[in-house]
Amino acid sequence: MSAAKLPDDPLWPRASAWIARAGDGAPAGDIALLGVPAHVSSITPTGAHATPAAVRDALARYSTYSASAGVDVATLAAVDLGDVREPDGHDGEMRVSEAAEAAGDGFGLLIAIGGDNSITFPLMRGLAHGELKGWGLVTLDAHHDLRDGESNGSPVRRLIEAGLPGEHVVQIGIADFSNSAAYAERARELGITVMTRASLRHADLAETIAEALRIAGHGGRSVYVDLDVDVCDRAEVPGCPSAAPGGISADELRAITRLLASDPRVRGIDITEIDATIDAPDGRTARLAALLVLEAAAGFALRPNLT
């Protein structure tokens, strides 16, 4: 990404300037931004620990105004809580859960920037105060993440083992030749609702997301959202090592993010599986992640109690 200084214009406020730094005391507001640079447990080596900083830098390239939504997210109180220190391993995951719990108590929406997909487990556990039975989960991911062990391929299995009912989980974007028959069968046995990448090609996105939220948020329960960016087409996200040709478009993921964040049941969103160290020279994958932060904020601004 170019290091050239960006021009200043008081009539074009940058998104990076909108998000305040956390001060003393217990921070509170509409949106909390939290960096979780986990990378050690990744199945394949990754530099995902470099991504939170890259996404924060990319926010400087965008304004706070959404023309299509007609909202300026600068009207929201957003606070950057910084990065969780050493988020890998048992102790690191406890720190992540504690940070998520505090953010959930003080803010309407937590947006976490990974890091690899292992962060979904401690983040959701923390937001739910460990009471996962009353929550739902929506994943945008090419993979089931039901592997054995503890890695970036196992957060959904770990959440279910910790108390999240499989019937409360909806997985959108599951890709062909990116999962095994054994894990697909495990998803069926656990009662997970699976919406494949192929099924999305002729589906209405708004209807798809409404159905996902109907299942995950049934009865008004809180919902956590995992945005694993490898759900996108590899050509658009070169910084995602596990992305395959034929995934959804970056534009579709942006639209889905706004739709999900506009629902008051959604309490937390993570953005994972981007390795900023292998991104394209123009930083396009980190830029997409920055736009996902802004789409989530725009969705939050569109919630019924805020419009």
Write the CATH number for 165. 3.40.800.10
E strand or H helix at 190: helix 181-190
In a domain, 7, yes or no: no
Evaluate if residue 214 carries a pLDDT over 60: yes
Evaluate if residue 2 carries a pLDDT over 60: no
* Mean pLDDT, residues 220-240: 98
* Among candidate residues 177, 148, 158, 301, the one with its CA nearest the CA of residue 226: 158
Confidence of residue 27 (pLDDT cuts 50, 70, 90): confident
Evaluate if residue 104 carries a pLDDT over 90: yes
* Among candidate residues 302, 298, 136, the one with its CA nearest the CA of residue 219: 136
Evaluate if residue 71 carries a pLDDT over 80: yes
Residue 26 vs residues 29, 79, 99: alpha-carbon distances, Å = 10, 11, 11
* Mean pLDDT, residues 261-277: 99
- The parent domain of residue 70 ranges over 15-306
Please, are residues 125 and 159 in contact by the beta-carbon 8 Å criterion?
A: yes
In a domain, 118, yes or no: yes
Torsion of CA 293, 299, 301, 302, to 10 degrees: 170
Give the pLDDT score at 5: 77
The amino acid that residue 190 corresponds to is L
Long-range contacts of 186-190 (CB under 8 A, 24+ apart): 186/144, 186/146, 186/157, 187/144, 187/146, 190/146, 190/160, 190/166
* Among candidate residues 273, 247, 226, the one with its CA nearest the CA of residue 176: 247
Number of neighbours of residue 47 by Cβ within 10 angstroms: 18
* Mean pLDDT, residues 57-70: 98
In a domain, 3, yes or no: no
Evaluate if residue 239 carries a pLDDT over 80: yes
Give the pLDDT score at 23: 75
In a domain, 214, yes or no: yes
Number of folded domains in the chain? 1
User: Residue 74: helix, strand or coil by DSSP?
Assistant: helix
Using one digit for the tens of pLDDT, what is the confidence trace for 143-171?
A: 999 999 999 999 999 999 999 999 999 99
In a domain, 131, yes or no: yes
In a domain, 6, yes or no: no
Provide φ and ψ at 243, rounded to 5°.
-70, 145
Bond before 115 cis per omega within 30 degrees: yes
* Mean pLDDT, residues 8-16: 93
To 5 degrees, how large is the angle CA 240–CA 61–CA 268?
A: 55
* Mean pLDDT, residues 113-124: 98
Give the pLDDT score at 305: 81
Using one digit for the tens of pLDDT, what is the confidence trace for 83-99?
A: 999 999 999 999 999 99
Beta strands, E only, the chain: 20-21, 29-36, 65-66, 71-72, 78-83, 107-114, 135-140, 169-174, 193-196, 222-228, 266-272
* Among candidate residues 138, 54, 41, the one with its CA nearest the CA of residue 96: 41
Evaluate if residue 67 carries a pLDDT over 60: yes
Higher pLDDT, 163 or 305: 163
* Residue 135 DSSP label: E
Q: Show Cβ contacts of residue 238 under 8 Å, excluding neighbours closer than 6 positions.
A: 278, 279, 280, 284, 285
The pTM of the full predicted model, rounded to 2 decimals, is 0.96
Q: What percent of the chain has pLDDT over 70?
A: 98
Cα separation, 262 vs 254, whole angstroms:
12
In a domain, 9, yes or no: no
Give the pLDDT score at 8: 86
Mean pLDDT, the chain, as a whole number? 96
Q: What percent of the chain has pLDDT over 90?
A: 93
* Among candidate residues 214, 164, 60, the one with its CA nearest the CA of residue 80: 60
Give the pLDDT score at 3: 58
In a domain, 187, yes or no: yes
Give the pLDDT score at 263: 99
Give the pLDDT score at 4: 67
